[in-house]
Amino acid sequence: MTHISLKQKLFTAVAVLTVPFMCVSTASASPVSFMDETEAIAQNALRGADAVGIDTAADINFSSSSGEIVATSKDVSVKLEKEGNTAQVTSQSGDTLVLPEEASGNVGVSDGTGVVAGKNMTDFAVNLSDEGITRVTSVLSSKAAPERLDYTFADASSLTIHENGSVTIIGKDNQISGGVDVPWAVDAQGKSVPTYYEVNGNVLTQVIEHNAGDYAYPVTADPSWSTVFKWVGRGAKFLAKKVGPGVAVLCLTGAGWAWYRSDANGWVRVGDAVAGCLF
């Protein structure tokens, strides 16, 4: 007959009591929900935009219907969706902006902002202004986040950087198809973070130098993308504000004359008109 010692009996009793206790303790821990995560991403993105003077109150709300996440202004509509391993934004004209590879998680909507949960400590928020400008904001949670984010304009043949840091998008038909505003980046306290664009073919890389300084996280950064009509129109408004309506009228007169004299068609003629305004 096998005899069980008192010490063995006590060990067995403790084990029986401990295992259920450990299971209960593990089950009581609950991860952050995707809803809470999207809310934080959206709030951080809007906080960054507000810090650089963007009127976020005028943004058009994204909504989710029939599995599609869409925002529509008076004349522009954009859709946020997951395609393959990353997310993308598509305009109603079919132009597509593929987000960086970090945008690999679920897509959703929080308080009117399109949200993409990402990897490598990087998430993304998408907003549409009432002027039809698509704003894609990266939210970098720590120094472990990358300093280079690659955005691909799927329908572009090339990108051109200007002296002020803005970018012109050239379509596959070699005509101007839109533009990207001057980049910005700020930390959680509104402190400016050095940032600039690099281009290679149809890939726009935003470099965000957040590792070099003492910044409060999250850091937010934004490329704002628009079609040719919106981009040129914003340039005209900027010109009128900076140099006065008189010069703006001269600009429009030069553009009109260049349009009249141009033998080109389509967006090439638009480019001639823009050149007539500037030169």
Tens of pLDDT, residues 196-247:
999 999 999 999 999 989 999 999 999 999 875 454 445 444 444 444 444 4
- Rounded distance between C-alpha atoms, residue 175 and residue 6, angstroms: 88
Count Cβ atoms within 10 A of the Cβ of residue 82 and give its class: 0-12 exposed, 13-18 middle, 19 or more buried.
Answer: middle
Cα(269)–Cα(279) distance, rounded to whole angstroms?
15
CA distances from 234 to 78, 227, 237, 238 (A): 19, 11, 5, 6
**Contact between 105 and 99 (Cβ < 8 Å):** no
Distance CA 222, CA 200 (A): 19
Core vs surface per residue 100-134: b (16+ CB within 10 A) or e: bbbbbbebbbbebbbbbbbebbbbbbbbbbebbbb
The answer for residues whose C-beta is within 8 angstroms of residue 130's C-beta and 6 or more apart is 58, 59, 60, 73, 74
The pLDDT score that the predictor gives to residue 12 is: 44
Neighbours of 188 (CB within 10 A): 15
pLDDT above 90: percentage of residues in the chain: 60
Higher pLDDT, 261 or 88: 88
Place of tokens 């990087």: 122
- What pLDDT shows up at residue 228? 59
As a whole number, the mean pLDDT across the chain is 79
Select the more confidently predicted residue: 198 or 24.
198
Q: What is the pLDDT of residue 139?
A: 98
Q: Is the pLDDT of residue 174 over 70?
A: yes
H helices present in the chain, as ranges: 6-27, 34-51, 228-243, 245-261, 266-278
Spatial separation of the C-alpha atoms in residues 120 and 99, rounded to whole Å = 14
Under 8 Å between Cβ of 220 and 227: no
pLDDT for the residue numbered 127: 97
